Amino acid sequence: MARHLVTGGAGFIGSHIVDALVARGDSVVVLDDLSTGKLANLEQSRSRIELIEADLRDLGAVRAACRGVNCVFHHAAIASVPRSIEDPVASNGVNASGTLNLLVAAREAGVRRVVYAASSSAYGDATRMPVSEDTRAAPLSPYAVSKHVGELYCQVFWQLYRLETVVLRYFNVFGPRQDPASEYAAVIPKFITALQRGQSPVIFGDGEQTRDFVYVANVVAANLLAGDAPAAPGQVVNIAGGARASLNELVAAMQRVIGVATPPVYTSPRPGDIVHSFADISRAGDVLGYRVAVPLDQGLALTAEWFRACLR
């Protein structure tokens, strides 16, 4: 039985990966400090996993978590642009230094492969769309810098030590278990919960900024593929939905899904936010065999249903 480690496994994306690994019969270790992750996210798999409650900055705990592990799915991070602007030291400590700890521990333990959850924020305000992996990195926030540093460490550990690393640059992931309550919450859970409560969703800026939204099930599939694909080591790969929508279009789509017409309200743009984002996902298809199985509208309907159940 293969044994895998999911860092940040009690979080939004990580917990879905845990469920998928458990469902296929793998042994799973979760490392999470539960600062943003929730035990409730692991409820359906809790009896079948090993949970280590620890911080990535604790190298001893990370070493213990890596023992006997075949593949690491590295999702632990402080995943917030606004929070990184307020406290860049903490973001760097977890996202950059914590990733270095993970790679050191994985190499020492003889881990076969590390799949790293990177961020499309590395591209900054790229001018050519769709953006390919060959586009020069131009991060606009401490968060983006710290996540990009993690990528560079992954590539160096592959080049120097032959530790197999795969970098997946996520675009705007959404789906069940995203937390709408945090002031740093992603846009879709915030919009959905506002509309379901009869409140106006808040848009920072004019709403014409575009994003490439990808439903979480697609991201889980990409991780499982990246864990085994022969051509994946050393690669940086975009993971996205393969289409773009403005925030205004997104609100309109959610109004249709939920069956309400509550208009949005607009406020000042946030510092550090990019204007446009749209991924070229051809490399993901070529290297991983990745395909978008759940398109945006279907993903929004599934997500809205999950949040509707939570609000009952």
Is residue 60 classed exposed, middle or buried when 0-12, 13-18 and 19+ CB atoms within 10 A define those classes?
exposed
CA distance 153 to 96: 8
Catalytic residue among 143, 153, 170, 215: 143
| 132 CB-near residues (< 8 Å, 6+ apart) | 238, 280, 282, 283
> pLDDT tens-digit profile of 160-216?
999 999 999 999 999 999 988 766 568 899 999 999 999 999 999 999 999 999 999
CA distance 100 to 235: 18
Return per-residue pLDDT of the chain as tens, 312 residues: 799 999 999 999 999 999 999 999 999 999 999 999 999 999 999 999 999 999 999 999 999 999 999 999 999 999 999 999 999 999 999 999 999 999 999 999 999 999 999 999 999 988 889 999 999 999 999 999 999 999 999 999 999 999 999 999 999 999 999 988 766 568 899 999 999 999 999 999 999 999 999 999 999 999 999 999 999 999 999 999 989 999 999 999 999 999 999 999 999 998 878 788 899 999 999 999 999 999 999 999 999 999 988 866
CATH architecture assignment, domain 3-174+215-240+278-293:
3-Layer(aba) Sandwich (3.40)
153 is catalytic: no
Sequence-ordered alpha helix ranges (H) in the chain: 12-23, 59-66, 81-86, 88-92, 98-109, 142-161, 187-196, 216-226, 247-258, 282-283, 296-311
- SS3 assignment, position 288: helix
Residues 146 and 84: beta-carbon distance below 8 Å: yes
Residue ranges of the domains in the chain?
A: 3-174+215-240+278-293
Query: For 131, which DSSP code?
Result: B
CA of residue 23 relative to chain centroid, distance: 20
